[in-house]
Amino acid sequence: MPKKQPLYPHVPKSTVLPQTSPDGNNHKGMSLNLTREQVTETIPSNLVQAGILLTSEAGHYRGVLETYDNINLLKVLFKSQELRGL
The angle, 0 to 180 degrees and rounded to 10, between the axes of the packed helices 58-65 and 36-49 is: 140
In angstroms and rounded to an integer, the radius of gyration of the C-alpha atoms of the chain is: 18
pLDDT band of 2, cuts 50, 70, 90: low
pLDDT at 33: 86
24 Ramachandran zone, left/alpha/beta (phi>0; psi -120 to 50)? left
pLDDT tens digits for range 31-74: 778 899 999 999 999 999 999 999 999 999 999 999 999 999 99
What is the pTM for the complete model shown?
0.65
Tens-place pLDDT, residues 5-16: 555 555 445 555
